[in-house]
Amino acid sequence: MKPAAFEYFAPRTVEQAVDLLAQHGDQAKVLAGGQSLVPLMNMRLARPAVIVDINRVDGLEYIVAAPAVLRIGALTRQRAAERSRLVAERCPLLRDALRLVGHVQIRNRGTVAGSIAHADPAAELTAVLTALDGEVVARGPGGTRVIAASDLFVTYLTTSLDPREIITEVRFPALPPGTGWSWMEIARRHGDFALAGVGVVLALGGGVITEARIALTGVGPTPVRATSAERLLTGRAPSEGLWADAAEAVRAAVDPDGDIHASAEYRRHVAGVLVQRALCEALTRVREAA
Amino acid sequence: MGTRYVGARIARNEDPALLRGRGLFVDDVRLPGMVHAAVLRSPHARARIHGVDTRRARAVPGVLAVYTHADLGRLGAPLPKLIPHPSLIHHKTQCPLASDAVRYVGEPVALVVAESRYLAEDACDLIEVAYEPLPAVASVEEAVRPGSPLVHEDIGTNVCARYTQQTGDVDDAFARAPHRFRERFVVDRGAACPMETRGVVASWDARTGLLEVWDSTQAPIPIRNGLAAMFGLLQHNVRVVAPDVGGGFGAKIMMFYPEEVLVPWAAMRLGRPVKWIEDRRESMVAMNQEREQIHDAEIAADGDGRILGVRTVFLYDSGAYIPYGLIVPIVASTTLPGPYRVPSYRCEFAAVFTNKTTVSPYRGAGRPHGVFVMERLLDRVARELGLDRAEVRRRNLIQPDQFPYDVGLIYQDNAPLRYDSGNYPLCLERALDLIDYAAWPARKQAARSEGRYVGCGVACYVEGTGIGPYEGCRITVEPSGKVVVATGVGTQGQGHMTSLAQIAADALGVTPRDVSVHTGDTALFNWGTGTFASRAATVAGNAVALAAQAVRERARRVAATLLEAPVEEIELAGGKASVRGVPARAVSLGELAVAANPLRFAMPADWDGPGLEAVRYFTPPQGAFSNGVHACIVEVDPETGMLSFHRYVVVHDCGRVINPTILEGQIHGGVAQGLGGAFWEKLAYDEQAQPLSTTFMDYLLPTAAEVPALEVAHVETPSPLNPLGIKGAGEAGVIPVAAAVAQAIEDALEPFGAHIAEAPLSPSRLRQLIAEGRRTP
Amino acid sequence: MKLDGTNTLAAPIETVWTTLNDPEALRRCTPGLQELKEVGPDTYQATLTIGIAAVKGTYSGTLRITDKQPPRHYRIALEGSGGAGFMKGEGSVDLEPQGNGTLLRWSGDVQVGGLIAGVGQRMLGGVGKMLIGQFFKCLEQRLGSGT
């Protein structure tokens, strides 16, 4: 398991990185945490001719709380985000999801932005970004642009980023005060890819649900925003029966693949189970916050 | 002989170096001028090879050679057949490199040697093989279906052996029995997954004619003898070293894997040391696997749940070749009766070729299957007759006064299957007590009323261990007073440097730290068969004891001469020999060693040779039988099929315990592998026998987060078959796990009527079984 | 793995049939197709780079069209091998008129082996279906999609 030969560059600035990508186009791959790319290279499933290692680029490692949004620089390691006080205070849904990304060793190197750019169909962070209507900032030869989560994930391992663009920042909207949240997933072992995962955000007002956000991972080629279930919940009073209805709506909205670990029917079923349980937990948190 | 160290929980001699990263594993071997090998492996499960074009590969700068079958000459013949058996009609083994056909994904087709492994893999990419893919046989059931493709076209069948073992008149028992129950059990493929993959380094010196090989193997001596024969060298001119080995679990006991022959051969051809280290992906397709069996089993019982007879017919998947013979299915057949009185029994099996990786023993080696079948059959009896599961077992257990107990079958060592000693009822009661079985019904009910599904499982087993043919040991006391023990078994983490030192220390009156144990180097000891079948402690351990005893006697005789006292008065303790009652009249072991090797003058006639050294062999007349009981409590989430363990209890009897810490390590590791085989580890293949789980992303080893805390209790019924009274313990942890877990899950899911007759399970499968259960009354 | 799908094309059945049998059109809707050389009647040598994101492999092999029943039906068989493994598939394409356009039904059985099968089973089925679907979607776009 040794990679095929490649050319290696380690730029010091974002501009240099972008220049290199412009020069080499889809022959180049960006290396940040390397937790997905390097195994693919070692197995020779990926043979990029050029590696652009951005680990020495200055100014990309930060977590900043702007009003209503958490801005996370592209080189911020998953473990740093997981342990960040700002993340815990402003976006605990992200923190809870981060805890289930691989293992500590992986999170020590893997980056938040890298996980999002890699777009694994069972990733946690892509679903959290989708649930919260987050966005990424991308820099390429044409300049800088902002891409909303709903426009970002195209299919398995594929985002709408151009091969010559790099993500410089990921933006997660903060959870408003009084909202409840929950991240739940089913995996064969601790740290494994989720067979199905759910992120939920709930807000109540006047005894009824004023905001419901539900996003799932592991049930399709990209994260799924369960808008039909969200509509079903909005304006209604929370109850076990309502959660069950939401679960059915989610089941109808997903079309998971089966594989050697779990059948499609199993994933569809537990997606609904997780939604029910996550809504229940989110409601408890709403009540605790009150 | 004192017993100060045998039985003591002492820290291991090998740990300080290993924990500091100062061990020497095969990949640590670095020799001047060393080059690196990579193997090109078949991507097809079954194909003809019409040609191999290596021109582009050979042209890569830094590549020294690219070898195919055509280059091997005599060496291209099929590799040796180990353990022949009269019933093994088609004893097929593979050639070191495939010639005109490949029979499993991973089969070696070419060997590349280059200045680095990177370059060797680059060259592998450029080798063009003209394959003609053919339909593959992907399952044992497909293999025995008429008209299926043939794994070996020249034999006209996929069945390589049929064998039946029986005792009593089982058909008569079934005809008369008031109750007969039939089940079909399916156990699926698993892999040993040692932390260290395979690896070989070979170095040939043409001037001295010496071939040195470092091999991550469990059996260095047979490898040495085999290589010497194969290359026409004196055995004395071949040295094979199994250095520190990071786990074997059976998968590293072959003679030979193709690479174990190809790498030394390439080193001799090229005149440069050659290193080959298997990467994990290769290991997942090219290291031998095991565990696939399908049993069609029946049990006959009376109204009290007493066994009248058991019969089973099973298919055993041997993979593409069968180098290791019929050991695994024979062990399964002879383990099935277990600790129970089974008055009549018949076990028939067919060993079958499939286009999958070759099968050879993996920890348990068929015992887990025997136990799974018997324990699940007893559970069926209990359920059908409305009896308690533990009570059914109690009623059938062999009693302590029935030893030696003749089961009426022939074991894997070709000796009669005769249990030497044990107290099976005591072990069962201990386990039931520890898991608080008496309170179980109430606890289960309480959980149910909270909407939780918990279950308890109890499984018993007997494990044949410590078989022959023999092992040997040479013990030498050096002038420094240090004791050197050299033996032929290899060590892959079992702690031999400590347990064998404890045995020697007790006999010679020194501390285990003063004993330096050397295993696995044919230059230091060259008679032995290897570490397998839970036999090293029993067989090598007893050889150590015999040799230590002989050295002890010699030391006393020399001391008697030096101290001018009768031999009967000489005692050994604290590294010294002294006259009983007169501690001032003493001489150190080191001084004795010097005195025993005089440079001048005559030696006393009764000294029988120089030095304090002895070589002894132990040849067990038959195996020694360990036993145990596992009990566990699990909780199942019926909505998700997820499993959690509340408790896991092991009661274990391996006779006299040498080192409880080492023993518990063996048990913990075995249970972890058993849990893998019960719920996580499954080697998936598609319908064309393509392996689908070749990384740890998909082949799921349970981690520290999944394996529960284990509670281990010991019972000691010494074996009468060897002076130390010990029995083997290497495989025990894994043997009954799948059975105990299956029973516990079935107990938890009783309201759904889910029935478990397979391993491994998964959350997805449990959901399916729950859904199926609801449909049956 | 068994895959299938349906597409609606806004072109008459004869036009769809011609396009499906035109190597130029095939090339344009298969971005990784580096070579498509006719070596015999309805038999082509092909080199295809296929994959998703960074995971790409180049496969060389043969493509054969059989059982041609213009303009409604044909079968396709392909096999190719490369560094990442090999693939082998066969399938059928069925056309029927639907209003002013054509309904296209495709189905196939694809076997993937070697490295990519042993590592990528989690996504292989989904990605396979998606890639084939992309091809027919491209055709649909070239011919205009109907209602």
Number of domains in chain A: 3
Residue B429 to residues B49, B382, B432: CA-CA distances in angstroms? Answer: 60, 18, 5
Answer for the pair C45, C35: CB distance below 8 angstroms, yes or no. yes
Cα end-to-end span (Å), chain A:
54
**Neighboring chain C residues of B684 at a CB cutoff of 8 Å:** 121
The CB-side HSE value for B9 (13 A sphere, CA atoms) comes to 5
CATH of the domain at B579: 3.30.365.10
Average pLDDT over residues B205-228: 97
| DSSP structural state of residue A194 | P
pTM listed for this prediction: 0.95
Q: Which pLDDT score, from 0 to 100, does residue B488 have?
A: 92
Q: What percent of chain C has pLDDT over 70?
A: 97
| DSSP structural state of residue B680 | I
What number does CATH give the domain C2-143? 3.30.530.20
Task: Find the domain containing B449 and state its range.
Answer: 365-464+624-775
Q: B176: how many CB neighbours lie within 10 A of its CB?
A: 12
* Dist. CA B368–CA B671, nearest whole Å: 12
The sign of the torsion formed by the CA atoms of B438, B442, B443, B448 equals positive
Q: Which pLDDT score, from 0 to 100, does residue C34 have?
A: 87
Query: Cβ of C119 and B694 within 8 Å?
Result: yes
Q: Is the peptide bond before B361 cis (omega within 30 degrees of 0)?
A: no
* Dist. CA B331–CA B734, nearest whole Å: 15
* Dist. CA B629–CA B48, nearest whole Å: 49
* Dist. CA B26–CA B492, nearest whole Å: 12
Tokens 């090219």 map to which residue? B286
* Dist. CA B160–CA B100, nearest whole Å: 21
**Neighboring chain B residues of A262 at a CB cutoff of 8 Å:** 762-764
Residue B668 lies in a domain: yes
Are residue B564 and residue B421 in the same domain, yes or no? no
Are residue B600 and residue B657 in the same domain, yes or no? no
Are residue B382 and residue B265 in the same domain, yes or no? no
Are residue B112 and residue B227 in the same domain, yes or no? yes
* Dist. CA C68–CA C75, nearest whole Å: 7
Q: Which pLDDT score, from 0 to 100, does residue C141 have?
A: 84
Q: In what order do the strands lie in the sheet with A196-205?
A: A180-186, A196-205, A208-217, A224-225
Are residue A125 and residue A213 in the same domain, yes or no? no
Q: Which pLDDT score, from 0 to 100, does residue C25 have?
A: 83
Cα of A242 to nearest chain B Cα, Å: 18
Are residue B236 and residue B216 in the same domain, yes or no? yes
How many residues are there in chain B? 777
Residue A82 lies in a domain: yes
Give the pLDDT confidence of B66-91 residue by residue, as tens digits. 999 999 999 999 999 989 999 999 99
Are residue B667 and residue B747 in the same domain, yes or no? yes
Tokens linked to B197: 């993959």
Tokens linked to B597: 């090797």
Chain C: residue whose CA lies nearest to B693: C118
Q: In what order do the strands lie in the sheet with B101-102?
A: B101-102, B47-53, B128-133
Q: Does the structure show a pLDDT above 70 at B775? A: no
**Neighboring chain A residues of B118 at a CB cutoff of 8 Å:** 2-3, 5
CATH of the domain at A13: 3.30.43.10
Give the pLDDT confidence of B687-699 residue by residue, as tens digits. 999 999 999 999 9
Identity of the residue in B44, B281, B695 whose CB atom sits nearest the CB atom of C113: B44
Residue A146 to residues A91, A169, B347, B728: CA-CA distances in angstroms? Answer: 21, 9, 70, 66
How many residues are there in chain A? 290
Domain ranges of chain C: 2-143
Residue A1 lies in a domain: no
ipTM metric: 0.95
- Beta strand segments in A46-179, E: 50-53, 63-66, 69-73, 135-140, 143-148, 153-155, 158-159, 166-173
Answer for the pair B616, B548: CB distance below 8 angstroms, yes or no. no
**Domain boundary residue among B618, B641, B675?**
B618
Best of B694, B764, B766, B769 to disrupt the A interface (most A CBs within 10 Å) is: B764
Q: Does the structure show a pLDDT above 50 at C147? A: no
**Neighboring chain C residues of A165 at a CB cutoff of 8 Å:** none
Q: Which pLDDT score, from 0 to 100, does residue C146 have?
A: 46
Task: Find the domain containing A147 and state its range.
Answer: 63-173
Are residue A272 and residue A195 in the same domain, yes or no? yes
Q: What average pLDDT is seen over chain B? A: 96
Give the pLDDT confidence of A90-137 residue by residue, as tens digits. 999 999 999 999 999 999 999 999 999 999 999 999 999 999 999 999
Are residue A266 and residue A222 in the same domain, yes or no? yes
Categorize the per-residue pLDDT at B2 as very low, low, confident or very high, splitting at 50, 70 and 90.
low
Cα of A156 to nearest chain C Cα, Å: 7
Residue A58 lies in a domain: no
CATH of the domain at A81: 3.30.465.10
Cα of B698 to nearest chain C Cα, Å: 8
Q: Which pLDDT score, from 0 to 100, does residue B774 have?
A: 66
Q: Does the structure show a pLDDT above 90 at B331? A: yes
**Neighboring chain C residues of A47 at a CB cutoff of 8 Å:** 56
Are residue A271 and residue A190 in the same domain, yes or no? yes
Tokens linked to B757: 């007759």
Are residue B474 and residue B443 in the same domain, yes or no? no
Answer for the pair B488, B617: CB distance below 8 angstroms, yes or no. no
Low-confidence ranges of chain A (pLDDT < 50): none
**Neighboring chain B residues of C86 at a CB cutoff of 8 Å:** 43-44, 133
Give the pLDDT confidence of B696-748 residue by residue, as tens digits. 999 999 999 999 999 999 999 999 999 999 999 999 899 999 999 999 999 99
* Dist. CA A82–CA A88, nearest whole Å: 8
Tokens linked to C57: 């492999």
Q: Which of A261-270, B386-395, B399-408, C138-147 has the least mean pLDDT? A: C138-147
Answer for the pair B344, B180: CB distance below 8 angstroms, yes or no. no
Q: Which residues, other chains included, contact A192 with Cβ-Cβ below 8 Å and sequence gap of 6+? A: B697, B700
Give the pLDDT confidence of B395-404 residue by residue, as tens digits. 999 999 999 9
In A161-237, where does DSSP find H-type helix? Answer: 227-233
Q: Which residues, other chains included, contact A25 with Cβ-Cβ below 8 Å and sequence gap of 6+? A: A163, A164
Residue B496 to residues B18, B21, B207: CA-CA distances in angstroms? Answer: 14, 19, 36
Q: Which residue from B284, B264, B280 is spatially nearest to B272, judged by alpha carbons? A: B264
* Dist. CA A281–CA B640, nearest whole Å: 17
Q: Give partners of B (≥3 CB pairs < 8 A).
A: A, C
Categorize the per-residue pLDDT at B221 as very low, low, confident or very high, splitting at 50, 70 and 90.
very high
**Domain boundary residue among A132, A154, A173?**
A173
Cα of A248 to nearest chain C Cα, Å: 23
Q: Which pLDDT score, from 0 to 100, does residue C136 have?
A: 86
Q: Does the structure show a pLDDT above 90 at B157? A: yes
Q: Does the structure show a pLDDT above 60 at C145? A: no
Identity of the residue in B125, B131, B691 whose CB atom sits nearest the CB atom of C118: B691
Phi then psi for residue B721, to 5 deg, are -90, -5
Q: Does the structure show a pLDDT above 80 at B129? A: yes
Residue B159 lies in a domain: no
Number of domains in chain B: 3
Q: Give partners of C (≥3 CB pairs < 8 A).
A: A, B
CATH of the domain at B63: 3.90.1170.50
Categorize the per-residue pLDDT at B521 as very low, low, confident or very high, splitting at 50, 70 and 90.
very high
Are residue B52 and residue B106 in the same domain, yes or no? yes
Average pLDDT over residues B489-513: 95
Give the pLDDT confidence of A27-45 residue by residue, as tens digits. 999 999 999 999 999 999 9
Residue B86 lies in a domain: yes
Answer for the pair B746, B459: CB distance below 8 angstroms, yes or no. no
Residue B10 lies in a domain: no
Q: B469: how many CB neighbours lie within 10 A of its CB?
A: 12
